[in-house]
Structure 1
């Protein structure tokens, strides 16, 4: 199969998994109520957190298993089929049996453990496709950005019809993922055992990776924050129904997706420090601004600004990982960056949900925005040194 077709199929897998995941966000409070929960914020927090905890726990397991067996396609197909089954089971079982919400959370965690296989391994398979790492990761970035941008408003519309309809739609999407992946040649390279050991060794050999990893953590923390706290805040503060909440999330996701490439080119021209530090600092201020906005129109404008600033710093941060890691270690370094990001998303759900529940929404916005500001200030001296070194190095 030609590399371009493999790239399109794998990007479609990543896209479908992301759409399925984001479908649930706009109406998550109504969804957990339909599944037996008695609270909105706490139940929504644990419903989202249980999936991402499974992501963090099992991404490495699937990667190690694919390395050990030298096969990836069967794991992608199997994970997608199991994930589809569990998505449907979460919607169907509470309607026909007296299933506790705790049982639903166990199903959710199992669904997360299965679903991370097609997502993580499809990303890994994209890295294996011939034709250039930049082109492959560009395809992944477009798939991730467009998947989240489409999933949010679509999920809001589906939730307005029925709270559990997004679960059934996610199930259908994962079955489509299994069908798509079955057509991709399995070309897992051999001799790649010891992934965790290599990741640790890469980090020890390049401790400056701490800088982009720190930004990756807080960036994804804010994404987790908006997935939970932002969604519920828009409902409580402005009375928005799931379709409108989906639009509010899309106001962030659409510019974030569309501006990744041009801002990535900008970082090649001006260096990484300016986009990362300026973007992160203004991003933190914009996050707090959304929480302070007195009207839904101003809050929506704030979400657009957050998306633009996120697009400014995200490609520069990922490019910094590539700058710092040796050519043979770039895949491992990027895998570590994505793992840290997953932990950050989980932290955003748990920290944001806890602060919002105990203190209030505004305090949660301030804590999340302040994290961006603190990381930018703490890493500025090191970033200036790294950027100066990169400018003095000949281009690859």
Structure 2
């Protein structure tokens, strides 16, 4: 199989995992109520938090295990199958009489499986030659398009029946598992490491803390929109689940379509401008969504925020692969997903708690200004990494030392 064909299959797998996940977001209020959790924002918050807590616990474990095994796709397929089973069990919860506490346990188990499919498919993309920005751009466009389709279709499914998004998510993940088993892997040639060795490689590369911090804040905003954004558009503008899904799509469509060219741009000009300047503008755009007086202005702000997010995301992920050595790339990207999942958790918790206590505008301000703050605080570090010349941006396949050409 050609490298382009492998990239396409892996991107399609990432897309499928995101579609399955986002199917639930527009109708989360209705789904949680159908599963016995009530319709308040805090019940929705815990429903989303449960899955991402498992993401945090298991992302690096999957990545390090694949580094030690020397194969990613069998593990990714197993994760997709486990995630599909979790969604089917959730859909059966009302019939089986599973209480909401049990539903949260199922979400934990399903999340532990699903993160394997997600994290390892992105890592397999990073294994490909041809430019880290291009590969991460492919991942980014898959994530954005998956979220865009999932938000639109998921809202319509939830309006028809709150359990339909769960069945759709299970079917999608099952198809993803079959797809992963057809992928020819292209792992970099390196000595295979034990799981502990791969995780220990992260401690030897402290520079990874920079992209990890940006990944945390960026995904915190995504988690915020997944929870608070849905409730905001439904409460402030009287939208149903389908309407809230379309509002989310206003963000995800430009976010998806611009990821690939933005990734290529970051290969050419470096990561600093997309990461630092993009993050500042991204954060201010989030605040603008919360200030919007009417739905039209809010949707226009969502489109702008999506475009700015597309500038930041692939450059941030590519920064990880620029810094990491080939033999620890799986663990490095797994660690990035751990911090990203922690960001999602923070977005759910911070957004849910702030909205409950201070209202929507305060929540938008806190999250948006956090994005601006991390860009200002970490700007010097990003510029230093970008200007050091220690990693060739066109194709960072080797662990270059300081001063390497």
Please provide the CA RMSD for this pair.
2.7
CA deviation digits over 1:143-169, x for unaligned, max 9? Answer: 222211211111111111111110010
SS at match of 2:79: helix
2:30–2:39 Cα contact (<8 Å) kept: no
Q: For 2:316 and 2:99, how far apart are their aligned partners in 1?
A: 42
CA contact (8 A) 2:77 2:180 kept: yes
Residue number in structure 1 paired with 2:6: 6
Give the corresponding residue for 2:358: 359
TM-aligned CA deviation for residue 281 of structure 1: 1.3
User: What is the deviation of 1:357?
Assistant: 1.5
- Aligned ranges for residues 171-190 of structure 1 at < 5 Å? 171-185=170-184
Distance in structure 2 (CA, Å) of the matches to 1:279 and 1:395: 21
Q: Distance in 2 between matches of 1:228 and 1:194?
A: 38
**Native 8 Å contact 1:323 1:390 kept in 2:** no
Matched residue, 1:263? 262
CA distance in 1 between counterparts of 2:208 and 2:120 reads: 23
Query: What do residues 166-203 of structure 1 show as CA deviations (whole Å, max 9, x unaligned)?
Result: 00101111121222223234677784334554454445
Structure 1 residues 265 and 393, CA, compared in 2 at 3 Å: closer, same or farther? Answer: closer
Q: Is the 8 A contact 1:202 1:332 kept in 2?
A: yes
- Tell me how far apart the structure 2 counterparts of residues 253 and 30 of structure 1 sit (CA, whole Å): 22
In 2, distance between residues paired with 1:303 and 1:49?
24
2:138 equivalent to 1:145: no
Q: Distance between the aligned counterparts of 1:243 and 1:18, measured in 2? A: 18
Give the match for residue 402 of structure 2: none
Displacement, 1:87? 0.7
The answer as to whether partners of 2:63 and 2:330 remain within 8 angstroms in 1 is no
Report how far residue 106 of structure 1 moved: 0.9
**1:240: Cα distance to partner?**
0.8
CA distance in 2, matches of 1:328, 1:61: 15
Cα distance in structure 2, aligned partners of 1:104 and 1:138 = 35
Q: Is the CA contact 2:71–2:185 (under 8 Å) kept in the aligned structure 1?
A: yes
Contact 1:67/1:190 (8 A) holds in 2: no
Give the unaligned 5+ runs of structure 2: 396-405
Q: Indicate if the aligned counterparts of 2:290 and 2:361 stay in contact, CA closer than 8 A.
A: yes
**2:21 alignment counterpart:** 21
1:299 aligns with 2:298: yes
Query: Counterpart of 1:321?
Result: 320
- Which runs of structure 2 are paired with 1:180-219 in the superposition (5 Å)? 180-185=179-184, 191-195=191-195, 197-205=197-205, 207-219=206-218
Verify the 8 A CA contact 1:203 1:333 in the aligned structure 2.
no
Residue 299 of structure 1: how far off its partner (Å) = 0.8
Unaligned runs of 5+ in 1: none
- Equivalent in the alignment of 2:401: none
Q: Where do 1:1-396 residues align within 5 Å?
A: 1-94=1-94, 96-129=95-128, 135-185=134-184, 191-195=191-195, 197-205=197-205, 207-325=206-324, 332-390=331-389
The 1:225–1:89 alpha-carbon spacing in structure 2 relative to 1, beyond 3 Å, is same
Do 2:272 and 2:382's aligned partners in 1 also have CA atoms closer than 8 Å?
A: yes
Change (3 A) 1:135 1:218: closer
Distance 1:203 1:260, change over 3 A: farther
Q: CA separation in 1, counterparts of 2:234 and 2:300? A: 17
CA 1:270 to 1:68, structure 2 compared with 1: closer, same or farther past 3 Å?
closer
The answer to whether the 8 A contact 2:53-2:108 is kept is yes
Q: 2:280 aligns to what SS in structure 1?
A: helix
Q: Is the 8 A contact 2:141 2:258 kept in 1?
A: no
SS of the equivalent of 2:158 reads helix
Measure, in 1, the Cα distance between the counterparts of 2:168 and 2:317. 32
> Residues 196 and 135 (structure 1 numbering): CA distance in 2 closer, same or farther, change over 3 Å?
farther
The CA deviation at 1:262 is 2.7
Q: Choose 8-17 or 167-176, whichever is displaced more.
A: 8-17
Using the TM superposition, give the Cα deviation of residue 336 of structure 1 relative to its aligned residue in structure 2, in angstroms.
2.8
**Alpha-carbon separation, structure 2, partners of 1:288 and 1:244:** 21
Q: Partner of 1:312: helix, strand, or coil?
A: helix
8 Å contact 1:271–1:391 — kept in the other structure?
no
Q: Distance in 1 between matches of 2:393 and 2:62?
A: 37
Shift in Å, 1:85: 2.1
Contact 2:220 2:346 in 1 (8 A): yes
